[in-house]
Every structure is written in structure tokens, then in C-alpha cells.
Structure 1
């Protein structure tokens, strides 16, 4: 079981460190509202991973195996959403308009900041695909539902460390000034990553429906 957990941790850490809606939410909050709000968003994301782990242990993969059309539909919806985010970012770069990654300056409560992180990770198509892959792998190695559930705290800790790093880093004045200066390069990286993820999901969906 320990070996499975270590492999999962490495894969999850790589997924969390790559651009996605979770990172987007943390950085926007850090740039505009500061470290406290950003870390509350991180706490919401970490909480959401525990829910995903519970869903995985209850047979999330089995549900989609029983109703494959549901997974296919989610691939198209998630892929289209990520492509839309990528299109917006790349369009802003090409047109020289306003950045799509905007500092969230409107004051919100601690609960609202936590809630944003929670709902972002629960509606994130990248998170869905990651947990489906994790469930398939973990059950495939012979773990039982209780052991799969224990992956949740491991993933939550990884999310706290990785997204917490982004939250702290982008809440500094240095990072804010750097983003204001190099936002086109940052937007281009986000746009490219989102588009690639979205296209990958769309292609996977097309393969599902291909006779």
C-alpha cells in the first residue's frame, strides 16, 4: 500500500503543480486580496480533495463504467470549458487587451474565500479526470475502499503545500509587480496549457463515441 501511495503522491503533485482552474483561483485571489484570502482558497481546495477521495472510495469509477455516456459528456463539457479559458487568455495576449487573470480585489468573507476554493476543485474537469485515474489505479493494485479513502489526506496535504506556495508567492509585492510586467508571457503559458488540456479531453470524448 505504501508504494501505491508514493506513486499516487508523485502523480498528484505533478498534476497540481501544472496550470489549471485551481491554480488560477489561488493566484487571482493572492494578487488582489492578499495571503490570508489566498490560503483560505487553498483550504477550500484541500477540503474538496477529501470529498473527491470519498467519492472515489464509494465507486466513482464504477458509476462511469456503468454509464459511459456520462463520462463522455463530461469530457466534452470540461474540454470545451478549458478551451474557452485558453482562448480567452491567448486572445488577450494577441490583442494586447486586459489580462484574463485578474486580481480579485472585491472584499469577501473568509467563508466566501474558502467556498471559492471548494467549488473550484469540485467543478474542475481536470480534478475529475485525475480522480478517475487514481481510483482505477488504486483499486487495480488491490486496495479496498477504506484504503482508497486514506488517499484523501495525502492529496489534501499535497494541495495545501503546492497551492499554498503559489498563494504565498503571488501575495508578495514582488510577484504582483512581476505579473504586471510579464502578464502576457504568463497568460500565454496559461492559455497554452488550458487549450492543450481541453483539446486532450475533447479528443478523448471523440474516441469514446467513434464506432
Structure 2
């Protein structure tokens, strides 16, 4: 059991450390809203991880396999959400809306920061596919639903460490000074990244709808 857990965990750590919606959400929040709010986004991501583990243990993977339309729907929901974040960032950069001024005018509440991380991970089809792969691997190693459920806290802890590290990195004085100088370009880059991810998911969903 420990061998299977370790191998699955290594794959998850590699996925978490690579650039993607989760990392972008943490980095954007750290630069524009500060370390505290970024770490709350991280806690939302970790919470979403626990939910994915629970859903997978309850048979979500089998549901996606039996009814592929559910995964297609998730691609559209996730794609639209990421595209919304991206377009909003691009518009702000184009209009010269400094996120620091917006943050003072409309502070991001603790719950809103947590919700941002939670929604990003829960609407990401890659998270669903990752958990299906984890379940398949663990089940294939002779483990059961309880083991898949127990794997959730392991992944949540690594999410806290990895994304928390990103939150700390992007809220350092050096990163803050760079953001203060180039915030418009950085905002445009994040907007383009989120928009690109969203369009990729929407395109994938449209391809899945083709007969």
C-alpha cells in the first residue's frame, strides 16, 4: 500500500508544481492582494482537493466513464470560469486599472479568497482526470475506496506546501517591487494565461461534442 501511495503522490506533486490554473490563481492574488489572501486561496485549493477525493471514492470516476457528458460539461463550466477571470484581467490591464487601487476600493474578503481557490480547482477538468487516474492506479494496486479517500489529505498537504510556497514567493519584497513597476504587463500576462486556459478547455469540450 505504501509503495502505491508514494508513486501516486509523486505524480500528484509533479502536477501541482507545474504551471496551471491553481498556480496562476495563487500568484495573481499574492501579487495584487498580498500574502494573507494568497494563502487563503491556497486553503481553498486544498479544500477542493479533499472534496475531489471524497467524490472519487464515492464513484465519480465511474460516473464520468459511464456518462462522458458530465466531463464535457465540466470542461465548459471550467473554461467559462477561467475565461471570465482572464478577460477581466485583460480589460483591467487595457484600461490601466491598477489592481492595488481596486483592492483598496473593493477588498477581497477572506471567504472570497478561499472561494477563488476552491472554484478554480473544482471547475478544472484536469483535476477530475487526475483523480480518476489516481483511483484507477490505487484500485489496480489492490486498494479500496477508503484508501482513495485517505489519499485526499495527503494531496491536500502537498497542495498547502507547494501552492503556499508559490504564495510566499510571489509576495516577497522583490516580487512586490517588480509588480509595482510592471503591474500592467503582469496583469495582461495573467489575463492572457487564464484566457488561454479557458479557451483550451472550451475548444476541448466542443471537440468532444462532435459525433
Mapped to 1, the partners of 2:10 and 2:166 lie a distance apart of 18
Moved more, 100-109 or 30-39: 100-109
CA drift of 1:92 comes to 8.1
- Map of 2:52 onto structure 1: 52
In the TM superposition, what are the counterparts of 1:156-167 in structure 2 within 5 Å?
A: 156-167=156-167
Pair 1:55–1:193, CA change in 2 (3 A): same
TM-score normalized by structure 1?
A: 0.75
Pair 1:82–1:32, CA change in 2 (3 A): closer
Q: CA RMSD in A?
A: 3.4
Gaps of 5+ in 2: none
Pair 1:103–1:179, CA change in 2 (3 A): farther
- Map of 2:66 onto structure 1: 66
In the TM superposition, what are the counterparts of 1:79-158 in structure 2 within 5 Å?
A: 79=79, 81-82=81-82, 104-105=103-104, 106=107, 108-109=109-110, 111-158=111-158
CA drift of 1:114 comes to 3.0
Pair 1:33–1:80, CA change in 2 (3 A): closer
CA drift of 1:147 comes to 0.6
After TM superposition, the runs of 4+ consecutive aligned structure 1 residues lying more than 6 A away are: 87-93, 99-103
Gaps of 5+ in 1: none
